[in-house]
Amino acid sequence: MAGVAPHEQFGDDGGVRPRPSVAGALAYLMLSFPLGLAAFVVLVPLTVAGVGTAIVWVGLPILAIVVLLTRATATLERARTYALLRTYVPKATRPLGDVDLEQRWRTRLADSATWREYAYLLLLLPVGTVEFVLMVATWSVSLALLALPIYYHRLPGGVWHFPFPEGELLTVDSVWTALPWSLLGLLFLVGTAALTRGLGAAHGRFVQVMLGPTRARMRELDEATTALPVHG
């Protein structure tokens, strides 16, 4: 039976499932910063070293390692996106085929998908930093307000002042005075959950654009798949 074309198997939308769960999106967004930092710390120094020593050929193996690391990390990133955001991102790189080593490297280096993967891994650090800060700030505030009736008496002096520690504008010194703040925390928590899912879905789209196939590449992969011989 002939192979199934990529867009027929996964859909024209790249295989997007319903919006990600709150837990999955939160885990994904919190992990993006350390993973982006790791990718930046590894790829940038290797790239600089490779380019700087390429003139004496020493840098060529280093740059080859950069390309292989980029492709391997992009594959892991697609898997992470599918596992946590419920979004399938098809592989975008051009098949290498049964050719010699030199032609395989020519194909890798001439493939725009390789450089989109590299750009994504570099952008993951600033994008992941913003996501990490937003998640830590919004979830911390929401949970702190929600749980205020439980821990307010453990604060210095057994009271909580808003907006300043020594202010007298609003004071929480009992469970009853803490309950309105807890209700506000609940409302914040609902908004934070929606924000988390929205950011997760937005990052999933970002991964599709950077790590998924373009329409031209999808047509190319379709043609390569339909050209496979039929085995009866």
Per-residue pLDDT at 219 exceeds 70: no
**Could you tell me which residues come within 8 angstroms of residue 42 by beta carbon, excluding any fewer than 6 positions away?**
69
Q: pLDDT-derived band of residue 101, with 50, 70 and 90 as boundaries?
A: low
CA 37 → CA 32, 124, 132, distances in Å? 8, 8, 12
For residue 3, what pLDDT is reported? 42
Rank 61-65, 152-156, 183-187 by mean pLDDT and report only the highest.
183-187
Bridge partner list, 160: 172
For the stretch 30-44, pLDDT in tens is 999 999 999 999 999
Contact 159, 171 (CB under 8 A): yes
pTM above 0.85, yes or no: no
For residue 179, what pLDDT is reported? 87
For residue 12, what pLDDT is reported? 42
Distance CA 181, CA 192 (A): 16
Per-residue pLDDT at 224 exceeds 70: no
Per-residue pLDDT at 139 exceeds 60: yes
CA 48, 51, 57, 62 torsion: positive or negative? positive
**Could you tell me which residues come within 8 angstroms of residue 135 by beta carbon, excluding any fewer than 6 positions away?**
26, 29, 30, 196, 199
